[in-house]
Chain A
């Protein structure tokens, strides 16, 4: 399978705990994006990388959220001190540098109790 993969697919955690998600993009894609989607809404942009550089982070993103892409391949998204409002589907997507189309992974569904 050469598509975008995400791990885990589901995560249930208690409020206040830290969680980390992983995304593996399509191998030749150097752009990687993180989105959050809640029920009945479209995906909301969180942040994106070109290679290992984080180029933009949404102003809506709390300081509790951090993302890395240390070697320009896979990326991790960490949420510290989770809150119930963080419950959502976290989607990762990748694209070629000049290509507009983004290919999405299956997502990680987070439930904060």
Chain B
């Protein structure tokens, strides 16, 4: 299987930095996604890691370590609009397998 584990909820303060971790167990996958989903809306793409290492895109960065079965999403300079669920997902056999998501609350 490809169990994907991430914290259910996290809280952070506006302007701060938060790291959302994701661990998985799988025998193989093409890449790892992070999606953002606001309540009642569809998921939107944030990042896709194929190789190990850090991918930086503006305020958001994503890291992958295949040997450790681990990824994280780093959000800097948090804004109130970053309050959302963040979904870690694996691209495997042309399908995306999603984790349950981490609900991030931003406090002013």
Contacts and interface: CB of A to CB of B under 8 A. Distances in A.
Interface of A: 31, 33, 40-45, 48, 55-56, 91, 100-107
Contacts of B101: 40-42
A33 B93 CA distance: 13
A31 B91 CA distance: 14
Contact of B48 (A40, A44, A101): A101
- Which of A45, A55, A56, A100 neighbours the largest number of chain B CB atoms within 10 Å of its CB? A100
A100 B97 contact: no
Given A100-B48, A100-B91, A103-B45, A42 B99 contact: yes
A33 B33 CA distance: 16
Contacts of A102: 45, 96
30 contacts: A40-B100, A41-B101, A42-B4, A42-B89, A42-B98, A42-B99, A42-B100, A43-B87, A44-B98, A45-B95, A45-B97, A48-B95, A55-B94, A56-B94, A56-B95, A91-B43, A100-B30, A100-B33, A100-B48, A100-B91, A101-B33, A101-B45, A101-B48, A102-B96, A103-B45, A104-B42, A104-B43, A105-B42, A106-B41, A107-B42
Contact of B98 (A43, A100, A101, A105): A43
In order of increasing CB-CB distance, the 8 nearest A-B pairs are A42-B98, A104-B42, A45-B95, A43-B98, A101-B45, A42-B101, A42-B87, A42-B100
Contacts of A55: 94
Given A33-B95, A42-B87, A42-B99, 13 more contacts: A40-B100, A42-B89, A42-B98, A42-B101, A48-B94, A48-B95, A56-B94, A100-B30, A100-B48, A101-B33, A101-B48, A104-B42, A106-B42
Of listed B4, B33, B43, residue having the most chain A CB within 10 A: B43
B57 to A, nearest CB: 13
Contacts of A107: 42
Interface in B76-108: 87, 89, 91, 93-101
B13 interface: no
Interface string B14-45: 00000000000000001101000000011111
